[in-house]
Structure 1
């Protein structure tokens, strides 16, 4: 047990630095720019909180490596999408201000100043972890120059056998133009000289990191980076030339918004069609080895059409995303300690689905008929609840039809296999496959074709809208007629992420909810633009208006009874209309508790505007992904779980669904969990009005939010 420690404060906070001059004028309206944090800077603050998990010595050592990798991966995506999107805005002449009152150029200026300290902090964190890894378990990343002769000979043999055949050196000269540098690829800039003519030449060699970034040595847990091995043998690629220098570099390109709509749509929508294709440098970052000469750096800048502001000098390793491999290493028993990784967690079967309750008969539907079932992953097993629901539906001869959305699923998905089995057995199966799911377009299209080949009716989303609602509908023939069973979720049908992401799922046969989701699938697969719903709240038709009315209702209850209370747990809060309404509710005295994992534009704790609003962010071993909404409603709570964050793009440009939790037991479970999140003593960071996040410090023996839920699952 660690001793209680001082609270961590995001002292590097770009949000706090940028907000200092943003004083709220007297009697400002609730939509005044000074009342909104900047989205981009708020997200960077979130990534500082992730990095703190890597810097915090209370985090197990190998997990610290993993969080370093996650931070680097997050930063790569931010530069590629958000900086790339803002640069496109600037190039297109967009002058529209962000909600916090900044132009694209002003935002870029703040971001550049904020990103560089974070980039440097990745290297400093690595410097802290390297000696700890060596001391604790003997893990070392060696420099090639420090290896012994025997080790170098073995690496030379490995290079010639396994690396040399796949390398493709690309020379640059008048007859061979500068090559296309693929996004996020690690490369070597090779400076050559002709021994007779004395002319200097440039070549690029792509490093094949997809095979292995870290090459193992004959000493256990000792590795050398592959780029160093290639660099020391690169002369074998350029026989007859003199190698004068080899320097690593890495290029980050702007996201192709036509394919990557999820992240940049709010930025790109401001650019007219005529201006979207206006040329601007597609490269948004160049990372270079610290030893790279200025002449080589300038050559790369010229060829990539970038300025000094886009160049980042790596003092240590270029690309820390690959250290995730080290976090997963097998550590020999004689060196292994229990505190190297988080204690193993195996999701538990919900009590009502355990053997002897519903499992022996193989009938999950009888369990759902008895009462709604709420599952919370990864505390509750996805396989023993959601996957079982789909698999039993596929095998049950009484099931006539299955309808499901597939936004993002796993490799070798048992869900897809079950849907194929259902179709091949003669059931009506319809699947909405979202082809715009970031990183999963090709995979989802492949799933769609596989499903179509089995006779599944496949739709590929709606024009102009991304389908992010997560739902499955099962129609079953029973003694009293047809009954509709529904699984509605906050997360994807992915068995892998279900062990890493927190998500809610509701299994119900409530007739109103079944009716609503049946209508939702008619909307998704057919023509029903004016579809109506009884209980389920659907975007883009009504979700924002519904939640705005729920907030206003709490204001009325506060004015009449003094008990207005709202609790919300989501990933992101950025919708200006909802934020302004929350300010009005706070001015009326409504207590508002918000657990926002990532960026948050709302400023809590401002006198006269948000005195009664608390905002916390939880960063822990699991990715907080579930979305839940609570409105006190004068003692008759309204509780929802849903797929949407309170973001403009989610509420206007996506098909999303929020479902009410009406069973009192399940409703109280959500309410209790929301209260746990707001009072988390260990992994919660509390947002201050000036933009700083302060991490809470537990008393001795206190557990963090996620550990509390793990303990509660065991107790159940």
Structure 2
């Protein structure tokens, strides 16, 4: 990794912790300091399990999504990127309702009385979610209507309402409707001979009220807005708005409005009285009794079919103008309460805004980023041949940092070369999520066709990727790959590859251990770390791990790896407790951890104990954080930040000072119960001194961010950092892109 001007001292002789940036004379660069500190805290007997010391998991997630929404409203964010964040905010909420809210409703129906660590019942959580979420949704839609639409129009992007169209534009859309939309639609009547139709999850619909002119009877019908058509119908160049003597870049109308204003074609002979858009969200979590499933693949497929045609409705979004009569009828038929209804004064389903990121307006987007190939893997000149990757790994471990460094030029190259190298005997890997056109799995198929032993653990229970994983599992099996579908009661979330190779009549094992999925597409937008190594101990550990995953091994100890659910929890607790003991013995204690979520009560309690002992703790937690920092006598030595920016922070790094004998780990696990107890995870210690320094540097840069970092307050709110007067803006992701080049 190229060196940025950073003092990479996560551990240092006792000094005051400094995470602010101080400008270096004459360089314009920043020197970031992360110091260890020894302090004495008066220890009094308190109950660290008291609910007052914990934030609610669901409400903490809503705070994360609020930070996403802030990116959509922040004028510093390029305009089309703000639309992207609008979309992400909505898509995040869809999944939140499909899984988290649905789960709380199931608990409520089952009369679950167990309280959360913060002392709430399911009903109290649902009420708190509603109270916190409604202002956020209102803020999102108001900002889209009153700010973004006008700003986009100034740039030549026009979201039009059907009522504002001129006659020529209406004529075009009427013809478009008849030719492209009408044949796809299926109006469904609701009357004694037509029961209320099934309404699919996340579908946008029109509730139409029509009147029979012969009988005077008012009738109800549902029209589904088809997902197979573009959500926003563009007008041709000749009918777009004009901008400085030329047509605008894009002018379009929501598909549901085009349908609504042509309903007479669907109901000939009827009078159209009114129409109202609505959108529903269903419980979409899978429930598979693994102990009773002889064939897990078949069981998952059956559950997926059920999910399409079942799942209770947990939310209905409607426009504020929907009258009570229509609203109450829908609530009655869908078995909804008033608290399940979310009114908006704008377009429903703003997640569809993501489609507009393809508009040819590069000046309204983030500057393009092309991941670079690490210097050790670059060909010195066009005349020289590319060096064998296995030889590069044999010289020293190689740290990979995506998307700053190329996934295709590193991980994909590693697997592809292994698939075709005549010395490779076997390839084993875990697969949690991948792309629909995965080049990695195509390489594995090639490896099997080349006569190599290939084994892949495909996690069929990867939420919302089940269908894609089933398709790949079948393709792999047909190619002769040994496919394993995971372990009963556990999700296999670890990200590991093992390559067994014969060279000079010796067997050598090469490994990749990472924090992210083997997905080339998400590797361009998620920040993740990985290590390529041929250390004997890691190769032996992965051999044991794969025997555990594919056979009957009950391996209980590993040479280097921290493996869940075997030893990961105990090892993390031991590492924290060692820092506590060091402080109590008069030394220094220091922990810096970067993760996606911090939820586990036992880990949180132990961190509180560490803070009370004087251990200085900095946590970089992207999403949910149930720990309350800054509480006198409890967590005054703990600081928490969250970084939300262009890339989704997904890497996990765990640093422990250890009295100067620093230990740094990376891996697939967050500090959550599910990762520690209910998933197969692998966390690897980093032993190469240069890589340790690189990881310390990454942590230092993240902690000094004053552009996209948010500081968690003791009351659960977040405050975004801003550069102090006279200091430069420090955007961690931008700095890491500069360093990669």
Q: Give the structure-1-normalised TM-score.
A: 0.91
Q: More deviation in 74-83 or 575-584?
A: 74-83
1:214 aligns with 2:232: yes
Q: Is the 8 Å Cα contact of residues 209 and 226 (structure 1) preserved in structure 2?
A: no
1:341 aligns with 2:365: yes
Q: Is the 8 Å Cα contact of residues 545 and 555 (structure 2) preserved in structure 1?
A: no
State the Cα distance separating 1:362 from its structure 2 match: 4.4
Distance, in Å, in 1 between the alignment partners of 2:202 and 2:705 is 37
1:71 matched to which residue of 2?
Answer: 89
1:318 matched to which residue of 2?
Answer: 348
2:300 matched to which residue of 1?
Answer: none
Q: More deviation in 375-384 or 119-128?
A: 119-128
1:712 aligns with 2:730: no
What do the CA deviations read for 1:351-401 (whole angstroms, capped 9, x no partner)?
000013998244100000000000000011111110100011111001111
Distance, in Å, in 1 between the alignment partners of 2:65 and 2:108 is 25
1:293 aligns with 2:311: no
What do the CA deviations read for 1:147-184 (whole angstroms, capped 9, x no partner)?
11111111111101100001000000101100011011
Q: Is the 8 Å Cα contact of residues 281 and 304 (structure 1) preserved in structure 2?
A: no
1:355 matched to which residue of 2?
Answer: 379
Write the mapping of 1:101-500 to structure 2, written as runs, cut at 5 A. Answer: 101-127=119-145, 128-135=147-154, 137-217=155-235, 218-219=239-240, 220=248, 221-258=250-287, 282-331=312-361, 338=363, 340-356=364-380, 360-479=385-504, 481-500=506-525
CA 1:587–1:126 in 2, change beyond 3 Å: closer, same or farther? Answer: same
Q: Is the 8 Å Cα contact of residues 557 and 563 (structure 1) preserved in structure 2?
A: yes
Distance, in Å, in 2 between the alignment partners of 1:551 and 1:480 is 44
| Residue in structure 2 matching 1:60, options 53, 78, 91 | 78
Moved runs in structure 1, 4+ residues, more than 6 A?
A: none
State the Cα distance separating 1:701 from its structure 2 match: 3.6
Distance, in Å, in 1 between the alignment partners of 2:288 and 2:525 is 26
| Residue in structure 1 matching 2:539, options 509, 514, 517 | 514
Q: Is the 8 Å Cα contact of residues 557 and 634 (structure 1) preserved in structure 2?
A: yes
Distance, in Å, in 2 between the alignment partners of 1:690 and 1:660 is 35
State the Cα distance separating 1:345 from its structure 2 match: 0.7
Write the mapping of 1:481-630 to structure 2, written as runs, cut at 5 A. Answer: 481-630=506-655
SS in 1 for 2:636: coil
1:676 aligns with 2:701: yes
SS in 2 for 1:473: strand
Distance, in Å, in 2 between the alignment partners of 1:409 and 1:311 is 35
Q: Is the 8 Å Cα contact of residues 281 and 314 (structure 2) preserved in structure 1?
A: yes
SS in 1 for 2:399: strand
- Aligned residues, how many? 666
Distance, in Å, in 2 between the alignment partners of 1:563 and 1:395 is 50
Q: Is the 8 Å Cα contact of residues 555 and 590 (structure 1) preserved in structure 2?
A: yes
State the Cα distance separating 1:411 from its structure 2 match: 2.1
What do the CA deviations read for 1:550-594 (whole angstroms, capped 9, x no partner)?
000011122234321001000000000000000000000000010
Unaligned runs of 5+ in 2: 1-43, 241-247, 291-306
Q: Give the structure-2-normalised TM-score.
A: 0.88
SS in 2 for 1:295: helix
1:95 matched to which residue of 2?
Answer: 113
Distance, in Å, in 1 between the alignment partners of 2:589 and 2:62 is 33
1:46 aligns with 2:64: yes
SS in 1 for 2:585: helix
CA 1:249–1:623 in 2, change beyond 3 Å: closer, same or farther? Answer: same
State the Cα distance separating 1:703 from its structure 2 match: 2.7
Distance, in Å, in 1 between the alignment partners of 2:505 and 2:472 is 36
What do the CA deviations read for 1:529-552 (whole angstroms, capped 9, x no partner)?
234310001000110110000000
What do the CA deviations read for 1:102-146 (whole angstroms, capped 9, x no partner)?
1111111111111111111110120211111111x1111111111
Distance, in Å, in 1 between the alignment partners of 2:414 and 2:311 is 49
CA 1:311–1:208 in 2, change beyond 3 Å: closer, same or farther? Answer: same
2:31 matched to which residue of 1?
Answer: none
What do the CA deviations read for 1:165-214 (whole angstroms, capped 9, x no partner)?
01000000101100011011000001011101111110000001332011
SS in 1 for 2:83: helix
